[in-house]
Chains A and B, each alone.
Chain A
Amino acid sequence: MPAPIRLRELIRTIRTARTQAEEREMIQKECAAIRSSFREEDNTYRCRNVAKLLYMHMLGYPAHFGQLECLKLIASQKFTDKRIGYLGAMLLLDERQDVHLLMTNCIKNDLNHSTQFVQGLALCTLGCMGSSEMCRDLAGEVEKLLKTSNSYLRKKAALCAVHVIRKVPELMEMFLPATKNLLNEKNHGVLHTSVVLLTEMCERSPDMLAHFRKNEKLVPQLVRILKNLIMSGYSPEHDVSGISDPFLQVRILRLLRILGRNDDDSSEAMNDILAQVATNTETSKNVGNAILYETVLTIMDIKSESGLRVLAINILGRFLLNNDKNIRYVALTSLLKTVQTDHNAVQRHRSTIVDCLKDLDVSIKRRAMELSFALVNGNNIRGMMKELLYFLDSCEPEFKADCASGIFLAAEKYAPSKRWHIDTIMRVLTTAGSYVRDDAVPNLIQLITNSVEMHAYTVQRLYKAILGDYSQQPLVQVAAWCIGEYGDLLVSGQCEEEEPIQVTEDEVLDILESVLISNMSTSVTRGYALTAIMKLSTRFTCTVNRIKKVVSIYGSSIDVELQQRAVEYNALFKKYDHMRSALLERMPVMEKVTTNGPTEIVQTNGETEPAPLETKPPPSGPQPTSQANDLLDLLGGNDITPVIPTAPTSKPASAGGELLDLLGDINLTGAPATAPTPAPVPQISQPSFLLDGLSSQPLFNDIASGIPSITAYSKNGLKIEFTFERSNTNPSVTVITIQASNSTELDMTDFVFQAAVPKTFQLQLLSPSSSIVPAFNTGTITQVIKVLNPQKQQLRMRIKLTYNHKGSAMQDLAEVNNFPPQSWQ
């Protein structure tokens, strides 16, 4: 058989192949040749064959039949053979193959070989792919080599020890005595690997960590080495771009970080050296920056003094301005880690971070976006939001979903005004409408319902948005819902905030119908649109017939959901027409689950959550149908006048008959506006709180003011004043607005006001404007209390106040008896 070709020949041949098939053919031929050569047990050419096999393995072809050959090579006496054999073992074998255990004996012998290179090879292989059994057997040898004076072997032994510890953590103690004077070496290679070994031991076992801190006095040793490195001046061997052995410096800094974490003594011992490194390192090249980066991470992680922390954040700030992308990326990553703890310091660099949003690099943009969301707070919300919206416009699609969700969250938390909030939502929906997450749609709807005075404005803007383009599903869904609810406002052309547009009912129906027909609308969207059209049947006057026609067409739609809805709506027209208006009334305000929003949180007493409308016609729900007639009498028709955003009163809703009397005149005396919510208040127990769903602003326009206000409580610098309002329509209800002010020099935080009234009264407490009473009377907390006093008894109240002041928790009870007679008579 002719001598097998050399590796170089093989490579040359393979490179001439023009197609994948040709290459495969060549390789198969060569594999066959190699296999027969192995069968012949030819010692001379074995290493050549294995080398070729390794090459083919790298290209992706199976090479497992070479494993045993590698073992034979390792057992050979020649260095050349051993070299290839060990390489093959590292590439082809790992702990999953059973064959690898056969290597153990070979490695053991080689670890004691006279040639240092052979020992080195053995250590290397053990350190790369040694399984736990092998490591257990050979750990003793490795430990012996760790103590040798040959630096070449010592450094390899150190890394091999790391691998052993990773595989068999119990053996860690065995290496402990050998580590005692590892750091006294001069050779940087050994130093480097020793630090790695110590790092691994400290990370794995807290006992070791404690041991190293106390007994070994590791920190001073490391500090000394680091100092030598910085001060030693130019050393050509380890120099990289003018800095001596940056790799070692970085390793030492990392170990210092682990030692100093949560430990005051160690942290103190390293403060100086960290400051020195931070100030003396030259930053013109990447190496300097690598060291600075590591230093900054260490400073942030240990218990450093505040001056050092400020220095660290400033370094990061400088990094942000660096031209090099890598540095900027690294700076943004570390700032993200520190923004939780040192928020204010990071805020200083906000403008630079926001500039990074405009960078071309994807990785940097992502980091900058995450960091920007972390930095948003009440003060900078407007500016930040402008930038973020611009970013949303121009960023890659993979970011849009995250960005949109982030914007919604931030807007919900810090929105300065409702109008701004709605505007922001509109902007997001129109720019990234199709990337908005599905769960955002119900949240948005809830939000819109809650901002009662903005309904006309909202629906107008939404209408304009989908006029042009109705392909973005979330946008269309929200718009359809709103048009369905507030279509009357749209058509009436009254809008406080903006130039009102003239829309006819037909135009509105046109757009909804085109949504229904369009191919781009999903089934869910169509459901929304159909329900919206149906709702409009009670709000529009002239186009009811058209609506009837549309609805009946969809009674035979292929889509089961649509069909079901259409059939039910049809039935509503035909058989239950008298119920239609009751069922399709305005939705009540939904209960907010997260209350991070602006201060006017509206509470409903009603427990019915009108779920967003995937389901049947609006569940003003548990309304017994027998009462429909009553309602209809009350409402007397369908005209609903537009909202004037000061005093929304609600339409009366169900419950007991006596309620209807109560509220009967509210509606018909042309009192300002009706607005949402016929709260389906099944609370017969608290009748007059139908007025829920209202904001905590004064409830009635025509309130007879002139009732004197009283000071209910005044002690320890805290003063609480009550102001009263009565409705001339409902004489049993008194609305008390409390104002709490603080004349001391310190704020009162976590302020909670509670009140109790005698049994004949009923009390409702709305949520306060905030929980902090600022000092020096600079501001007040306002809260609204509604008291129902049907028996017209003298008003008495007991109040309980809890708050934190001057670092201690305070609590007080008091009784309020000085209500003016006009407040309850």
Chain B
Amino acid sequence: MIKAILIFSNQGKPWLSKFYQPYSEDTQQQIIGETFHLVSKRDENVCNFLEGGLLIGRSDNKLIYRHYATLYFVFYVDSSESELGIFDLIQVFVETLDKCFENVCELDLIFHVDKVHNILVEMVMGGMVLETNMNEIVTQIDTQNKLEKSEADSQLSTCLHPQGGQSLKCEQCRKEYI
């Protein structure tokens, strides 16, 4: 089970934090701080697995991280997950972000936190891996985004039906419309 997913900058500022187990806010902040402390000390050519810090469980939990340019992606997992598998999962996550944001950079993640959360929600649910197929995820995200956008355009209807459609019946909410 994945216990937490964190993304932070080289200076330790968190750009995304998702915890899959209930921790108080103070503990959460402490975990972020401690993780940064552990991970920033690491050299470039050492292995990407660390034993967990003092806060997030003891011997059972591992910290798997990847460093991309100015960002650290950190996954805290317990022993039921394969380390190498999670290592690949981080790669898939970043590639998905890349596809959704078109050449993602740090600023994209900073300013669109909610969108990153939405993508993450499609990949990992309740601490378990939900979907790993990049294209599938991107398709679903796109559909949901379109839904949101059309809602925002028209404030009136509860479900905005596709513009300029031939049929009189909307697939989404099955209402007839004019």
Chain B 57-74 residues near chain A, CB threshold 8 A: none
Which among A58, A83, A159, A329 is the interface contact of B17 at CB below 8 angstroms? A58
Contacts of B135 in A (CB 8 A): 237
Q: How far is the CB of A516 from chain B (nearest CB, A)?
A: 40
Closest to A196 in B: B128
Contacts of A83 in B (CB 8 A): 118, 144, 148
Which among A51, A192, A326, A360 is the interface contact of B48 at CB below 8 angstroms? A326
Cβ–Cβ contact B132 & A192, under 8 A: yes
Given contacts A59-B14, A62-B25, A152-B140, contact A114 B117 (CB under 8 A): no
Chain A 315-337 residues near chain B, CB threshold 8 A: 325-330
Cβ–Cβ contact B125 & A128, under 8 A: yes
Cβ–Cβ contact A159 & B128, under 8 A: yes
Closest to B136 in A: A189
Given contacts A127-B125, A237-B135, A363-B50, contact A79 B147 (CB under 8 A): yes
Contacts of A44 in B (CB 8 A): 155
Given contacts A79-B151, A87-B114, A325-B46, contact A127 B129 (CB under 8 A): no
Majority DSSP secondary structure for residues of A touching B: helix
Q: How far is the CB of A283 from chain B (nearest CB, A)?
A: 12
Cβ–Cβ contact A78 & B114, under 8 A: no
Cβ–Cβ contact B46 & A286, under 8 A: no
Contacts of B84 in A (CB 8 A): 286, 289-290, 293, 326-327, 330
Q: How far is the CB of A726 from chain B (nearest CB, A)?
A: 61
Q: Is B173 an interface residue (CB 8 A)?
A: yes
Q: Is B110 an interface residue (CB 8 A)?
A: yes
Q: Is B177 an interface residue (CB 8 A)?
A: no
Q: How far is the CB of B135 from chain A (nearest CB, A)?
A: 6
Q: How far is the CB of B119 from chain A (nearest CB, A)?
A: 12
Q: Is B51 an interface residue (CB 8 A)?
A: yes
Contacts of A94 in B (CB 8 A): 22
Which among A58, A117, A248, A326 is the interface contact of B113 at CB below 8 angstroms? A58
Which among B47, B110, B130 is the interface contact of A155 at CB below 8 angstroms? B130
Q: How far is the CB of B30 from chain A (nearest CB, A)?
A: 10
Which among A79, A91, A156 is the interface contact of B148 at CB below 8 angstroms? A79
Closest to B41 in A: A362
Contacts of B28 in A (CB 8 A): 60
Contacts of A84 in B (CB 8 A): 114
Contacts of A329 in B (CB 8 A): 47, 49, 83
Cβ–Cβ contact A361 & B114, under 8 A: no
Whole-angstrom CA separation of A330 from B82 in the bound complex: 10
Cβ–Cβ contact B82 & A254, under 8 A: yes
Whole-angstrom CA separation of A485 from B121 in the bound complex: 72
Cβ–Cβ contact A11 & B110, under 8 A: yes
Q: Is A54 an interface residue (CB 8 A)?
A: yes
Contacts of B126 in A (CB 8 A): 124, 127-128, 159-160, 162-163
Cβ–Cβ contact B47 & A325, under 8 A: yes
Q: Is A542 an interface residue (CB 8 A)?
A: no
Interface segment out of the listed B85-93, B97-105, B161-169:
B85-93
Given contacts A59-B14, A159-B126, contact A246 B151 (CB under 8 A): no
How many interface residues does chain B have, given as a range?
Answer: 35 or more
Cβ–Cβ contact A290 & B85, under 8 A: yes
Query: Using an 8 Å CB-CB cutoff, how does the interface string of B9-30 with A read, 1 for contact, 0 for none?
Result: 0000010111010100100110
Cβ–Cβ contact A188 & B133, under 8 A: yes
Closest to B43 in A: A360
Q: Is B152 an interface residue (CB 8 A)?
A: yes
Which among B43, B88, B155 is the interface contact of A247 at CB below 8 angstroms? B88
Contacts of B87 in A (CB 8 A): 286, 290, 326
Whole-angstrom CA separation of A330 from B114 in the bound complex: 35
Whole-angstrom CA separation of A193 from B174 in the bound complex: 30
Query: Using an 8 Å CB-CB cutoff, how does the interface string of A357-378 with B read, 1 for contact, 0 for none?
Result: 0001111100000000000000
Q: How far is the CB of A613 from chain B (nearest CB, A)?
A: 38
Cβ–Cβ contact A287 & B88, under 8 A: yes
Contacts of B130 in A (CB 8 A): 155-156, 159, 189, 192-193
Given contacts A95-B22, A162-B128, A360-B43, contact A87 B88 (CB under 8 A): no
Given contacts A159-B125, A326-B87, contact A362 B151 (CB under 8 A): no
Q: How far is the CB of B55 from chain A (nearest CB, A)?
A: 15
Contacts of A39 in B (CB 8 A): none
Q: How far is the CB of B86 from chain A (nearest CB, A)?
A: 9
Cβ–Cβ contact A51 & B114, under 8 A: yes
Whole-angstrom CA separation of A115 from B16 in the bound complex: 28
Q: Is A261 an interface residue (CB 8 A)?
A: no
Q: Is A238 an interface residue (CB 8 A)?
A: yes
Q: How far is the CB of A116 from chain B (nearest CB, A)?
A: 9
Q: Is A96 an interface residue (CB 8 A)?
A: yes
Cβ–Cβ contact A124 & B82, under 8 A: no
Whole-angstrom CA separation of A115 from B174 in the bound complex: 10
Contacts of B48 in A (CB 8 A): 325-326
Cβ–Cβ contact A124 & B43, under 8 A: no
Which among A15, A189, A294 is the interface contact of B82 at CB below 8 angstroms? A294
Chain B interface residues toward A at CB < 8 A = 14, 16-18, 20, 22, 25, 28-29, 43, 45-51, 82-85, 87-89, 92, 110-111, 113-114, 117-118, 121, 125-133, 135-136, 140, 143-144, 147-148, 151-152, 155, 158-159, 172-174
Question: Known contacts A290-B87, A325-B48; can you find 8 more A-B pairs with CB under 8 A?
Answer: A7-B111, A115-B159, A162-B128, A189-B130, A290-B85, A360-B45, A363-B47, A364-B46
A-B CB contact pairs (8 Å), 30 listed = A8-B111, A11-B110, A51-B114, A54-B114, A57-B25, A59-B14, A77-B158, A78-B151, A79-B151, A83-B118, A83-B144, A87-B118, A95-B22, A129-B22, A162-B126, A188-B132, A188-B133, A192-B129, A238-B133, A247-B88, A250-B82, A250-B85, A290-B88, A294-B85, A326-B83, A327-B84, A330-B83, A362-B46, A363-B47, A363-B50
**Which 3 A/B pairs are nearest by Cβ-Cβ distance?**
A290-B84, A325-B47, A127-B126
